[in-house]
Amino acid sequence: MIDSPLETEDGRVAALESMVKLRRFEERTSNLFADGEIPGFVHLYIGQEAVAVGATSTLDSNDHITSTHRGHGHCVAMGLDPSRMFAELMAKDDGFCRGKGGSMHIADVNAGMLGANGVVGSGAPIATGAGVTKKLAGDDSVALAFYGEGAVSEGQVHEAITLGAAWDLPVIYLVEKNNYAEGMPAERIFRNTDFEDFGDAYGIPAETVDGMDVVDVYEAVSDAKQRALEGEGPSIVVAETFRYNPHSEGLDMPLPEEELEYWKDRDAIETFKDELIEQGELTAEQFEEIEDRIEAELDEAVERARNGEPPEPEQAYEDVFTEPAPDIEYHRANLGRDQL
Amino acid sequence: MSQTITQTETISLREAINQALREELERDDDVVIWGEDVGESGHVSNITEGLYDDFGAERVRDAPLAENGFVGAGVGAAATGLRPVVDIMYADFFGVACEQMLNQMTKMHYMFGGQLTVPLVVRASEGAGLSAAAQHSKTTHTFLSHMTGSKVVTPGTPAAAKGLMKSAIRSDDPVFFLENKRTYTMKDEVPTDEDFTVPIGEASVERAGEDVTVVATQAFVGDSLELAEQLEGDVSVEVIDPRSLYPLDHETIAESVKKTGRLVVADESPLSYGTHAEIISRVNETAFYYLDKPPQRVGWPDTPVPSAPTLENEVMPGRDELQRAIERIA
């Protein structure tokens, strides 16, 4: 979350900076994964930066988001400490989940980030439930569910929006339409890829925006938030974007070169940077300074994470419940037993 | 029971749950209820009768038929400060809600390193005996106990139902609350004190005996108590209601077996890979040398639930099967 609204020059520069930070974070993640420093599965956000930054720039400290398996971008955009994110990715005790979550489950409840989620579509019902809390509290806050277009076919997303609409909840359902569900192009698995059409079915507003344009995303989500706060219930925002990397790092699932080139020509960071320079809101030198600052911050974050300690093995038994778990202790004791 | 009981009244298990919900709604503004027909119509089993009128549509919510969606909403609401009690109506419908139960509700506290809590109660009625057939009769508590990350309670008496529901709502962990259909009309004494609770994870010795330990769940608690009276003089039966399947208070069970040397586990769930097996395993691990006879299982012989009474009665375990099991080892 950035402090200044995108209507201001400060806000626009901050948004650019945030997008650069998302990308540099993911580039490092890619390298660390390739080098074997990150175990497990990793899904990168590179290409979609304008969506996370534009959407979260509308949020306040009492708002909440739910994220996806491709969640690093949402986390950085929400202002999560990159060092603790790298620590979680690198299986260290200083990670946000103390090593229990990894890439697909980074969460920071204090920052309003209700978790990345390894199951496609599962964040939408959870954000809807956060919407109930907000409605009952009457605290002028909203919940925002990020999900990819692959989740649009999930029954639970349909259930969540139906519920959010029936109960007039302050929720924003944000479809990151990156054109591929895992390795499958949207056209292969949907007859209608114009997801904005779904709004009429639910009886709620829906809008398609250029997901490579951070201001466009920001404005649409701002409007959705405004409606939610005025008691008008949920909205759908469809952001058309693209991811530059395969579904998951290490997969041999390259994207078509021509399609990739088309989207890279419209790259969210490059076009917005050029726009700000053209408008005189930023100089090339200032942009270099921003990049240098981010590079230094992220290098230090990686180093701090790398030097951290892994969790102690016995922590595997903790946090299953909020109270002592007698069954777990019982089985654990039996596993360690060396005689009858 | 954890408290000294001063006053009681005789009510049904259905009324006991309704009372517990009412008292908790009154006690804590964060308690909310939702599900299909829990609102204005008061629920297909009348569990929420009167609550909509007294607490309003914001706190007692009729939900669209979207079990996965509204269990997930329960998770999200619980994670952000409410204490929802979500109603699944018939436990068979857990099939529709499974993703949010299996991957969110029961894992979030752990996989986020303890950062957030999910104080969510999901309740449903389960069990056969009403010719309701395969999709409105199954027991699910074994399956739920096996998921890890949630507590599972199966009260066999009205007092346990009331006390456990109150504990479930106050718990910071997710709890599945399973009500056997045959127990709804069971009447017994229930403490009237609004502070009365039953701790989750404590078994109850419902009847003391010397010869055979019967660990009975849900409707089998009433069946066992009646049978124990009938057999008195020939066999002295001790009846234990575990009340909570997870956590499982095997110590109380093992202590009883150390005294009787004989164990029967009576639970309506399918026999293979089940609740019976877990209870017997724990007794084997902690009291094996005290057993005088092989432990006996009374349960469902692994078929789906048929509709016709002649078929359902054939496979549904009940008092006759329990009596035979006791007599085999007594």
Quick check: B173 and A115 CB within 8 A? no
Closest CA to A308 of A165, A34, A31, A94: A94
Please give the residue of chain A at the shortest CA–CA distance from B279. Answer: A327
End-to-end, the C-alpha distance of chain B in Å comes to 29
pLDDT of residue A298: 98
**pLDDT(A12) > 90:** yes
Peptide bond into B247 cis (omega under 30): yes
Please give the residue of chain A at the shortest CA–CA distance from B246. Answer: A327
Distances in Å between the Cα of A72 and the Cα atoms of A28, A82, A107, A147 are: 12, 9, 10, 13
Q: What is the DSSP letter of B184?
A: T
> What phi and psi, each to the nearest 5 degrees, are found at residue A136?
-70, -35
Angle at A173 between CA B111 and CA A99, to 5 degrees: 15
Q: How far is A340 from chain B (nearest CA, A)?
A: 9
Each domain of chain B, given as residue ranges in start order, spans 9-191, 204-329
pLDDT of residue A339: 66
Q: Average pLDDT of A235-258?
A: 93
Instruction: Give me the residues paired with residue B188 across strands.
Output: B11
A232 CA to centre of own chain: 25
Instruction: Give me the residues paired with residue B214 across strands.
Output: B239, B264
B136 is catalytic: yes
When pLDDT is cut at 50, 70 and 90, the band that residue A5 belongs to is confident
* CB-CB contact of A9 with A172 (8 Å): no
Distances in Å between the Cα of B211 and the Cα atoms of B222, B238, B295, B327 are: 19, 7, 13, 11
B141 CA to centre of own chain: 7
Does the CB of B113 have a partner CB in chain A at under 8 Å?
yes
Those of residues 169-208 in B touching chain A at CB distance below 8 A are 171-173, 201
pLDDT of residue B42: 74
Closest CA to A100 of B106, B149, B108, B103: B108
> Over the Cα atoms of chain B, what is R_g?
19
Q: Which residues of B touch A91 (CB under 8 A)?
A: none
Closest CA to B38 of B15, B59, B60: B60
Residues of chain B with pLDDT under 50: 1
Quick check: A101 and B112 CB within 8 A? yes
State both tokens at A289: 């300074």
Tens digits of per-residue pLDDT, A183-195? 999 999 999 999 9
Strand-by-strand arrangement of the A235-240 sheet = A64-66, A143-148, A171-177, A235-240, A206-210
Tens digits of per-residue pLDDT, B14-44? 999 999 999 999 999 999 999 999 998 877 7
Q: Establish whether domains B9-191 and B204-329 are of one fold.
A: yes
Q: How far is B251 from chain A (nearest CA, A)?
A: 11
Q: Which domains does chain A have, with CATH numbers?
A: 9-311 (3.40.50.970)
- Could you count the other beta carbons within 10 Å of the beta carbon of residue B172? 15
pLDDT of residue B4: 65
| Closest residue to A155, CB basis, from B63, B68, B73 | B68
Q: Which residues of B touch A98 (CB under 8 A)?
A: 113-114
ipTM of the complex: 0.95
Per this entry, what is the length of chain B? 330
| Closest residue to A159, CB basis, from B68, B74, B104 | B68
Q: Average pLDDT of A121-142?
A: 98
| Closest residue to A105, CB basis, from B58, B64, B111 | B111
Instruction: Give me the residues paired with residue A17 across strands.
Output: none
Give the integer Cα–Cα distance in Å for B62 and B15: 20
* The domain made up of B9-191 is a member of CATH 3.40.50.970: yes
Does the CB of B98 have a partner CB in chain A at under 8 Å?
no
Considering chain A, what percentage of its residues have pLDDT values greater than 90? 94
- Could you count the other beta carbons within 10 Å of the beta carbon of residue B32? 23
Please give the residue of chain A at the shortest CA–CA distance from B33. Answer: A132
- Could you count the other beta carbons within 10 Å of the beta carbon of residue A8? 12
Q: Average pLDDT of A94-107?
A: 96
When pLDDT is cut at 50, 70 and 90, the band that residue A158 belongs to is very high
SS (H, E, C) A92-120: CCCCCCCCCCCHHHCCEHHHCECCCCCCC
> What phi and psi, each to the nearest 5 degrees, are found at residue B47?
-65, -40
Q: Which residues of A touch B282 (CB under 8 A)?
A: 330
Quick check: B69 and A159 CB within 8 A? yes
Quick check: B113 and A160 CB within 8 A? no
State both tokens at B168: 């479930």
Tens digits of per-residue pLDDT, A15-53? 999 999 999 999 999 999 999 999 999 999 999 999 999
pLDDT of residue B1: 47
Domain covering B204-329 in this structure, CATH number: 3.40.50.920
Give the integer Cα–Cα distance in Å for A88 and A75: 12
Q: Average pLDDT of A214-231?
A: 98
